């Protein structure tokens, strides 16, 4: 996943999330945040970040193949503020390539 603190939503590829009962029946357009555009389906998914306990999160499930192509590597999702805001502290350790969530 790509960390994007500027994205309001957390996105996930349909390769990772099977939508059994979507949160809405209509596609949802990604309007702001990451700069990535498109539409997807809101769903709840169990998300595990590192060693943290799995957490039930609302994600926008959408095709990320264009993003993967533009970045030259497989992108399975964008970790955005819809998940990050649940933590008191979010820091990025650039030297050690770590995301620290408390």
Q: Is the pLDDT of residue 5 over 60?
A: yes
Model pTM?
0.77
pLDDT band at residue 86 using 50, 70 and 90 as cut-offs: confident
- 12-42, pLDDT tens digit by residue? 998 887 666 555 555 555 554 456 667 788 8
Instruction: Evaluate whether 7 touches 85 at the Cβ level (below 8 Å).
Output: no
Taking the domains of the chain in order of start, what are their residue ranges?
Answer: 2-101
pLDDT at 46: 83
Query: Residue 41: beta bridge partners?
Result: 61
What are the tens digits of pLDDT across the range 44-62? 888 887 777 778 888 889 8
CATH among 3.40.50.11540, 2.40.70.10, 3.90.1720.10, 3.40.120.10 for 2-101? 2.40.70.10
């Amino acid at each position: 996943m790509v960390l994007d603190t500027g994205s309001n939503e957390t996105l996930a590829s349909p390769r990772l999330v099977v939508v059994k009962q979507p949160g809405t029946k209509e596609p949802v357009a990604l309007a702001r945040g990451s700069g990535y555009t498109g539409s997807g389906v809101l769903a709840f998914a169990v998300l595990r970040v590192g060693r943290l306990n799995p957490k039930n999160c609302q994600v926008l499930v959408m095709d990320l193949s264009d993003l993967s192509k533009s970045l030259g590597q497989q992108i399975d999702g964008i970790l955005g503020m819809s998940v990050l805001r649940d933590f008191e502290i979010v820091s990025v350790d650039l030297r050690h390539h770590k995301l620290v969530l408390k």
